[in-house]
Amino acid sequence: MYTLQIFRTKSKDHQEAFSKMERYVKLYNKNVGLPFPDELEKEIYDIISGFVHSDDNAIVLENYRKVTKNPFKGETNDDFLEYLWKHIEKVDGIYYSSLTQLIDELYELDFNNEAEILIWMNDEIGYLFEDCYKEYYKGISVRIYGCVSENDHLYSFQNMSLKEDEWNISKLKELFNQQIDAEVIDDNEYYEDWNSTGLYDLDYELNEKSNTLDKKTFFVVSYVKEDETHPLKDLSRKDGVDAITESLIDQFLDEYAPNIAAKKNNSALKNMEAGNLDEALNDILESLSNLSESWNNDTAAMVYFLKKDYSNALKYANESIKLDETISEHYYNRAQIFIEEGKKDRAIIDLKKAIDLDGYEPAKSLLNDIS
């Protein structure tokens, strides 16, 4: 669920405020999907070791020998440590766990003490991920609507809009219950989670200490959604052998895709092909709010083209080509927009460019049709 978040920044104008907001989203998500650091492996091992060797945990090794799917076959606590460690798998820098299945089987055998010890241990591993490595698996999606300046002017972001009767300095003061000067609205509290409305110092988050002389305060109105994902994926086990199939890994990588923008772009393409243009538009704008690249700007251009909004279609088509001038399909797509706008000469230029790049066949066909 998206929650309202306001970001305060000292900027020369509203465009700089929006630019800072976009940089912040990219910075926040820059490590999402990357392999976890190597030191995490040792930290997980140390947690398991601590539980195994703790005097507070009355572990009955014999009970683990009675489970059917992957029984313990060792003799010592060190053997048992290695047994539990094998329930945590690392594949291409991503961690998988089969502890939950072991816990379920212990409960079925009425070995509640052993099950609860593993739950406690599993939770500690989860806290480690959450507290120290969140940036590698939990990204944010942000919808920027606009901003309010310290002198109560409203500025909309791209095709979004803010209503004057809903957004102003008085509204912000009421929202954050601040009895201070309107040009500041100072709030030094920073929230770790996006589960409640917060007022964030954007310059602080970006670690910017630029000269604020001749700069105004802007309040960027955004809605933020944090990925509700967990870094450990449960795996089934069969005859003591990990059932890590290619499809399961693909499913896992999809859930924790390294690029949120790519996921939303793919969703937009699917909705566009299915004719669900409103859903496609929502997806592609969310993709662009996370990362603006040639490929998702081109997708946005085609969504607006199909919605017959040729002005926005051309804006995003221009941006896609500006970001990468080597993709023939993007020139072909812009040519289609020019044709609908009655700009045949410009369409011909783009089609010839697409053909020159790699002999793009659809461009040859369309050029022949309009010549």
Last residue of a domain, one of 116, 135, 154: 135
The predicted structure's pLDDT at residue 245:
41
DSSP codes of every residue in 166-208: T-SHHHHHHHHT--S-TTT-------SSSSS-EEEEHHHHTT-
| Cα–Cα separations (whole angstroms), residue 125 to 88, 119, 211, 296 | 10, 10, 43, 36
Same domain, 345 and 278: yes
For the chain, the first-to-last Cα distance in angstroms comes to 50
Same domain, 272 and 358: yes
Last residue of a domain, one of 135, 170, 203: 135
Contacts 24+ apart (CB under 8 A), 51-56: 51/117, 51/120, 51/121, 51/124, 52/77, 52/80, 52/81, 52/84, 53/77, 53/81
Residue 278 resides in a domain:
yes
Same domain, 129 and 148: no
Residue 10 resides in a domain:
yes
Looking at the DSSP bridge assignments, the partners of residue 91 are: 94
The predicted structure's pLDDT at residue 277:
94
The predicted structure's pLDDT at residue 19:
92
Same domain, 85 and 158: no
Residue with token string 């929502």: 282
pLDDT, one tens digit for every residue, the chain (371 residues): 678 888 999 998 999 999 999 999 998 888 887 878 889 889 999 999 998 988 777 788 999 999 988 899 999 999 999 999 988 877 666 677 888 888 888 988 999 888 888 888 888 888 888 888 888 878 888 889 999 998 889 998 887 777 877 888 888 877 775 433 333 444 444 333 455 566 788 888 888 765 666 788 899 998 888 776 666 665 543 333 343 344 444 444 444 443 577 778 888 999 998 999 999 999 999 888 877 888 999 999 999 999 999 999 999 999 999 888 888 999 999 999 999 999 999 999 999 999 988 888 899 999 999 98
Sign of CA dihedral 22, 27, 28, 32: positive
* Number of domains present in the structure of the chain: 3
- CA–CA dist 144, 141 (Å, integer): 10
- Asked if residue 59 lies in contact with residue 120, where contact means CB atoms within 8 angstroms, the answer is no
Tell me the residue type at 94: I
Same domain, 142 and 28: yes
Q: Tell me the pTM.
A: 0.50
Same domain, 27 and 43: no
Residue 240 resides in a domain:
no
Q: Whole domain around residue 66: which residue ranges?
A: 39-135
- CA–CA dist 37, 33 (Å, integer): 12
Residue 189 resides in a domain:
yes
Same domain, 212 and 299: no
As a whole number of Å, the CA-based R_g of the chain is: 27
DSSP-based helix, strand, coil % in the chain, nearest 5: 50, 15, 35
Residue 308 resides in a domain:
yes
Same domain, 164 and 65: no
Residue 82 resides in a domain:
yes
Q: Tokens at residue 349, please?
A: 């230029």
Last residue of a domain, one of 103, 135, 167: 135
Residue 322 resides in a domain:
yes
Same domain, 173 and 190: yes
Same domain, 146 and 170: yes
- Asked if residue 131 lies in contact with residue 121, where contact means CB atoms within 8 angstroms, the answer is no
Same domain, 61 and 104: yes
Residue 232 resides in a domain:
no
Same domain, 366 and 267: yes
CATH number of the domain encompassing residue 349: 1.25.40.10
